[in-house]
Amino acid sequence: MDNKDNCKKNGHRTFKEKLSEGLDIPADLLCGGCRVEIRGRGEAVVEGCRKVVTFSPDIIKLAMADFDIVIEGERLNCLSFCEGSLVIGGRINRFVYEERGE
């Protein structure tokens, strides 16, 4: 059992967990994680994007910290992109998390 597992077993929280609770921010966002909000089938907000890998009206692939996100649909477009946060519009048919090949 490593130290992290031992701390959780004993009820100790990591600094990141304490900070996220104090700031009311999800812990994975503190260290470059991602946040995804899907608004119906017409809009998605993705935070934590490192790079736009593929962009077309049918498919958008985004590189996140540890994986890729693929959005498939019709008439897809980028409504805004600022500091790693994207708003994607169009008709979203499918949303997939892909592990990156090593």
The domain spans of the chain are 1-31, 33-102
Q: Which fold has domain 33-102?
A: Immunoglobulin-like (2.60.40)
| Per-chain mean pLDDT for the chain | 83
pLDDT one-digit tens code per residue, 38-81: 999 999 999 999 999 999 999 999 999 889 999 999 999 999 99
Residue 55 · residue 63 · CB < 8 Å: no
Burial class (CB in 10 A: 0-12, 13-18, 19+), 62: buried
Higher pLDDT, 56 or 6: 56
pLDDT value of residue 73:
97
**AA letter at 6:** N
Q: Is the pTM of this model over 0.75?
A: no
Question: H helices then E strands: how many in the chain?
Answer: 3, 6
Which helix (H) or strand (E) segment holds residue 37: the answer is strand 35-39
